[in-house]
Structure 1
Amino acid sequence: MNKLLEVTDVRKIFGGSVRAVDGVSFSLAERETLALVGESGCGKSTVSRLILRLTDPTEGTIRFEGRDITHMSQGALKDIRREIQFVFQDPFSSLDPRMTAGEIVTEPLAIHGKVRNKAERRSTAEQLLQAVGLSAKHVESWPRQFSGGQRQRLGIIRAFALGPRLIVADEPVSALDVSVRSQVINILQDMQEEKGTAYLFISHDMATVKHMADRVAVMYLGKIVELAPKASFFAGPQHPYAESLLSAVPASHPNKRRKRILLAGDPPSPIRIPGGCRFHTRCPIAQDICKSQEPSLQLVGDNHLAACHFAKAWPIASRIGELQPATTTLAIS
C-alpha cells in the first residue's frame, strides 16, 4: 500500500530539557489503522499534535502524501488540514457550547468554503447527523442536550465532514461509558470502510486496540519500543513493557488468562531519562547490558520490530514468570 504518512526521527523537547518525544519513526498506509499505545505521559498525545502541526517538532521530518509538512507555513497548512482531522478525547469540552449541533458539524465546511448559504448548510448538517445515527431534528440542539456518546458522534462526523484521508483519534472512547463504547467504535469502523480513511488511533485500552488496529506501536518514555502487525503483537509481544501492558487485559476465557505482570516504580522523568535502555529501571529481566547500551528497533519477526536486547531470545512471558514479582501495578490510565 502507498504510504500516506511518514514520521522520521521526530523529537519534541520542551523547555530545553523535557524530551517528550525522542526519536519516533513510523509510517501509515492508506486505509490503515495504526494504534499508538502506552502509559499516560509516554508522549503519544504529543506525537498526535506534532502530526497535526498544533506544535512544532524540534527535530525530524513529517511527510503527508509525500509532502514535507514539518515546517510548512500556517497558510499552506490550511489545505493539508482538510486532509488530516482530529477526534478529541473529551466529547464535551471539544464542542463549542454556543453552537448548535448543525453549526458544529458544518463548521469545517464553512471555513473551507464548501457550503454556499444557510439552506445548504442546514441540509448538509442533517445528512451528516443521520450518517452517525442522530436525527435531523438534532440540527438545532445544543451540546448540553446530548449524552456523552451522542456528543462523541458529533465529534466524529465533524472530523469526517471534509472527507479527510487521515484522522487522528486521541482516546476517542476513553471518556465514554462501557455501554456506548462499542457503538462509537462501530461507527468509526463503518465510516472508515465507507470513506477509506486511515486512522492514527491513540489509546491505552488494549481491548479496544485489538478490535480496531491493523498494527500496534508501543511507546515508552518518548520512544517506540515495539511496532508490529496486530496478530503478531497480541500473539507474542517481544518487549517486556508491551508484555506488561497485555497482561492487564481481561481474558475472554479463564484458560487464556495471562500471568499479571506488576512493574516496580513509576516511569522516570523525561527530564532525567536513564542511560541504556530507558525501561531498565522497571524491567524484571534487565541485565548489565540494558543499563549501558540503548537497544534500537530490530526486526524480530515478519514486520515485527522490538527494541529489546533479549527479544526472541526466549519467551518474554516465561522469563518474567520465573522472576520475583514486583510490587507496584502498572498504571495505564
Structure 2
Amino acid sequence: MSEPLLRLEDLQKTFGRAPGGIRAVDGVSLDLHPGETLALVGESGCGKSTLARLVLRLTDPTGGRILFEGQDIAGLSQPRMKAIRRDLQFIFQDPFSSLDPRMRAGSIVTEPLAVHGLVSQRGERTSAAVRLLEAVGLSARHIGQWPRQFSGGQRQRLGIIRAFAMRPKLIVADEPVSALDVSVRSQVINLLQDLQDEQGTAYLFISHDMASVKHMASRVAVMYLGQIVEIAPKSTFFSAPQHPYSHALLSAVPISHPAKVRDRILLPGDPPSPAAIPKGCRFHPRCPIAEPRCRTEVPEARPVGEGHLVACHFASPWPLGGGGGRPR
C-alpha cells in the first residue's frame, strides 16, 4: 500500500463557543491513497460538507491535522496554500450556482490556469479552452457561450473540467450528480471515472446516492453526527456492513428486481443536534440494538476485517447483504 495522499488525524470543527458550540466534525481520522475513490455517506447534516471544506481549507479546523503528501496544511497561511491548491480541487453540487453567470465557458474552464500563471496569452487560453471542452464532450463552438445557455449536464461538465484543468492529485466531489436528471447521472459518473483513469486523480466522493457510490468507490466511510462510524472496502460494505446505522442506510436502497424485497429498517426520530450530542454512543437514541452500555461508553473504532473498522459495541454483519434481498 502506498503512502496516503491525504491523512486526517483527529480533525475537529466546532462552530460557536463551548459548551453550546456545534461540533460539526468531531475527531475524524482517515486516509485517502493516490488514485483511489473514498466515498463519504450519511444523512444530511452529519458533517460531510463541513469535512470537505476542511480538507480544502475553505474553512479552518478547530483541532487536529490535515496531512497532504505528508505536510500539515491545517495551519498554513493563504499565500502558502495557493501553490498547494493546484493539487486540491472541488466539484460543487449545484451546476447552476457554481458557475459565474458573467463569464463565458472558455474563461470559466481556463480561469484556474490563468490564476496560477500557466497561460497568459489570449491564443494560449483559447487553445487550452478548446482542449478542455473537448475532453468533456463539448467543442470549440461552446467557448463563447454563457452558463445559462447550457443544460444542467453540460454545466456540470464545465465544473468538472474546470477542476481537472490543473491536473490535481485530489478532487473533493460534493454530491456532483445529485442536481442532475437520472438520465444524465450515469454519463457524468462515467466521465469522472474516465478522467480519473487518465490522470490518476484521487476522489473524496460525497454522495447520498448509493448507486453512484457503488459504481465509483474503492472504499466507503459512513459518517454520523460528526464522526466516522464505519469504513470498509466497497465490496465488504455492500455485502456485509456491520454498524447498525450502515444497515439502516442500505436497507433504504431500492432493489431493482421486482421479485425481491428487503426488510426496511426505520430509525426512530431525527439525528440529535450537534450542539447537544448524546453521551456514550451518539447513535444509541435511534439504534435498534442499543443496550445500557451504549448510553455511557463511547465505542472505539475496532477492526473487524481487512481494512474494515467499526465504531460499535455490538457490530455484526447484515445477513441479507447490501446488494440483494429475500425472495417474495
TM superposition score category, shorter chain reference:
over 0.9
Give the Å deviation of 1:316. 4.4
Structure 2 counterpart SS, 1:98: coil
Which of the residues 116, 121, 124 maps onto 1:120?
Answer: 124
Which of the residues 137, 140, 147 maps onto 2:141?
Answer: 137
Give the Å deviation of 1:120. 0.8
2:186 aligned with 1:182: yes
Distance 2:193 2:87 in 1: 18
Corresponding residue number in structure 1 for 2:299: 295
Letter in structure 2 aligned against 1:2? E
Task: Encode CA deviations 1:109-158: one digit per residue, 9 max, x unaligned.
Answer: 00000112011101110110000001111000000000000000000000
Decide which moves more: 249-258 or 177-186. Answer: 249-258
Give the Å deviation of 1:97. 0.3
Corresponding residue number in structure 1 for 2:151: 147
Q: Is 1:36–1:219's contact at 8 Å kept on the other side of the alignment?
A: yes
Q: Is 1:36–1:216's contact at 8 Å kept on the other side of the alignment?
A: yes
Structure 1 counterpart SS, 2:176: coil
Corresponding residue number in structure 1 for 2:73: 69
Letter in structure 1 aligned against 2:10? D
Which of the residues 75, 78, 85 maps onto 1:81?
Answer: 85
Which of the residues 45, 48, 53 maps onto 1:49?
Answer: 53
Give the Å deviation of 1:207. 1.1
TM-score by length of 2: 0.95
Which of the residues 219, 224, 227 maps onto 2:231?
Answer: 227
Which of the residues 32, 36, 39 maps onto 1:32?
Answer: 36
Task: Encode CA deviations 1:296-328: one digit per residue, 9 max, x unaligned.
Answer: 11101111110110113xx4458xxxxxxxxxx
Corresponding residue number in structure 1 for 2:15: 14
Distance 1:171 1:27 in 2: 20
Structure 2 counterpart SS, 1:219: strand
Give the Å deviation of 1:9. 0.3
Structure 1 counterpart SS, 2:269: coil
Structure 2 counterpart SS, 1:13: strand
Distance 1:189 1:289 in 2: 44
Corresponding residue number in structure 2 for 1:324: none
Letter in structure 2 aligned against 1:119? G
Matches for 1:206-225 after TM superposition, within 5 Å: 206-225=210-229
Give the Å deviation of 1:256. 5.3
**CA distance 1:122–1:22, change in 2 (3 Å):** same
2:286 aligned with 1:282: yes
Q: Is 1:243–1:317's contact at 8 Å kept on the other side of the alignment?
A: no
Corresponding residue number in structure 1 for 2:4: 3
Equivalent pairs counted in the alignment come to: 316
**CA distance 1:255–1:299, change in 2 (3 Å):** farther
User: What stretches of structure 1 of length at least 5 have no aligned partner?
Assistant: 319-333
Letter in structure 1 aligned against 2:269? G
Corresponding residue number in structure 1 for 2:63: 59
Task: Encode CA deviations 1:3-29: one digit per residue, 9 max, x unaligned.
Answer: 100000000000021000000000000
Which of the residues 97, 101, 105 maps onto 1:101?
Answer: 105
Distance 1:55 1:151 in 2: 26
Structure 2 counterpart SS, 1:3: coil
Distance 1:146 1:139 in 2: 11
Which of the residues 87, 90, 95 maps onto 1:91?
Answer: 95
Which of the residues 172, 197, 201 maps onto 2:201?
Answer: 197
Distance 2:99 2:188 in 1: 17
Identity of aligned residues (%): 70
Distance 1:57 1:76 in 2: 17
Which of the residues 159, 169, 172 maps onto 1:168?
Answer: 172
Distance 2:230 2:208 in 1: 15
Distance 1:52 1:188 in 2: 19
Corresponding residue number in structure 2 for 1:322: none
Distance 2:83 2:260 in 1: 48
Task: Encode CA deviations 1:15-51: one digit per residue, 9 max, x unaligned.
Answer: 0210000000000000000000000000000000000
Which of the residues 244, 247, 254 maps onto 1:240?
Answer: 244
Task: Encode CA deviations 1:87-128: one digit per residue, 9 max, x unaligned.
Answer: 000001000000000000000000000112011101110110
2:262 aligned with 1:258: yes
